[in-house]
Amino acid sequence: MFNSISSQASKLINLTKRRSIKESKTKLLTITSGKGGVGKSTFTANMAYLLSKRGYKVVVIDADIGLANMQVLFNMRPALTLFDYIEGHAKLDEVLLQTPYENITLVAGKSGFQYSNHSNSFVFSRIVEDILNLNKFDIVLIDTGAGLNEYVKEFLQISDHILAITTTDPSALTDVYALMKMLSKDKNQLKICFNHTKNYKIGQTITNSLESLAKNNRLNPEFMIEYIGNVSTSHNISTTGRLRKLFSNEFKNDTVTKELEIVINALLKTLY
Ligand SMILES: Nc1ncnc2c1ncn2[C@@H]1O[C@H](COP(=O)(O)OP(=O)(O)O)[C@@H](O)[C@H]1O
Ligand SMILES: [Mg+2]
């Protein structure tokens, strides 16, 4: 899967991963999708909010170099980003930014950062490791960009918990299957959540089909997909996003907030 990663580097990162997880109470969840525009950032920000309301201390890392928009959703204009830490211009606590929401910390991203395969391998995962080693947060959510580039793969490599956001659109599902194929080589599990999907059961049915496809194509039989829920299409979601607000805070009793609460319940069951 990770052709470009030398086996030595791979071993090194596995060692670091084990060390971090053993010592840290902090859970790590990477949110991804093959396709762009399916709702990853919207979900990440609103999941962070609902988790914070349940008392969890959450860090959100904006790891989308194509379109870093987490600061927009949290209505912030950060002076320092993830890259200031990586390039050695800022200390960790300087890039851990308090959002306007209690118990949510943001590590902001930057659009258009040039990722070099040669010099930067594994530097991005280092910030994650450093945050885990602080041992003061409960959950780190990483919002990745679209596509399975080396940069996204680096975050997937260090995560035990990965959540794919998808729609029922065939092209989005094709991308999810490509993700499954890749992850099944060295992960045991992928969580899946459907956006723009009104019916809970449809998500479950499609998940079952993906599972059958995996079986028929002889993907690693240990690899499981776990369906954690669905969120409908709502005008309130797109509007709040544009207004730099969180729908789960603005519309606490809306169907979509309730749907996301169900997703959070299922997610917490898999994390703890
Ligand atoms: N369930 C939904 N209903 C309506 N609009 C949505 C929904 N989910 C996401 N959106 C909108 O779709 C756009 C893309 O969402 P975004 O979270 O930025 O996707 P991604 O991070 O996957 O690229 C945003 O304008 C967002 O407000
Ligand atoms: Mg996004």
Q: List ligand 1's pocket residues with C-beta within 6 A.
A: 33, 36-42, 195-196, 231, 233-234, 237-238, 241
Residue, of 251 and 3, whose pLDDT is higher: 251
pLDDT at position 66, please? 80
Q: How far is the CA of 3 from the centre of ligand 1 (A)?
A: 32
Domain 7-271 has CATH 3.40.50.300: yes
* Mean of per-residue pLDDT scores for the chain: 90
Distances (CA, A) of 242 to 32, 75, 76, 191, 267: 22, 10, 13, 28, 27
**Binning pLDDT at 50, 70 and 90, where does residue 121 land?**
low
Q: How far is the CA of 21 from the centre of ligand 2 (A)?
A: 27
Give yes or no for a contact between 130 and 20, defined as CB atoms under 8 angstroms apart.
Answer: no
Q: How far is the CA of 236 from the centre of ligand 1 (A)?
A: 11
Mean pLDDT score, 239-264: 98
Which one of the ligands is nearest to 251 CA?
1
Encode pLDDT of 135-173 as tens digits.
999 999 999 988 888 889 999 999 999 999 999 999 999
Q: Is the pLDDT of residue 220 over 90?
A: yes
pLDDT at position 120, please? 54
Q: Which atom of ligand 1 is nearest to the CA of 67?
A: 23
Give yes or no for a contact between 43 and 193, defined as CB atoms under 8 angstroms apart.
Answer: yes
Q: Is the pLDDT of residue 117 over 60?
A: no
In 3D, which of 214, 271, 232 has the Cα closest to residue 43?
Answer: 232
3-state SS, residue 53: helix
Q: How far is the CA of 87 from the centre of ligand 1 (A)?
A: 31
pLDDT at position 34, please? 82
Mean pLDDT score, 124-129: 90
- Ligand 2 ion local residues (Cβ < 5 A): 40-41, 64
**104-107 and 97-98 strand pairing:** antiparallel
Q: How far is the CA of 187 from the centre of ligand 2 (A)?
A: 24
**Binning pLDDT at 50, 70 and 90, where does residue 112 land?**
confident
3-state SS, residue 185: coil
Mutation to probe ligand 1, out of 30, 33, 42, 166 (largest number of atoms < 8 A from CB):
42
**Binning pLDDT at 50, 70 and 90, where does residue 15 land?**
very low
Mutation to probe ligand 1, out of 32, 71, 238, 244 (largest number of atoms < 8 A from CB):
238
Mean pLDDT score, 233-244: 98
Q: How far is the CA of 20 from the centre of ligand 1 (A)?
A: 32
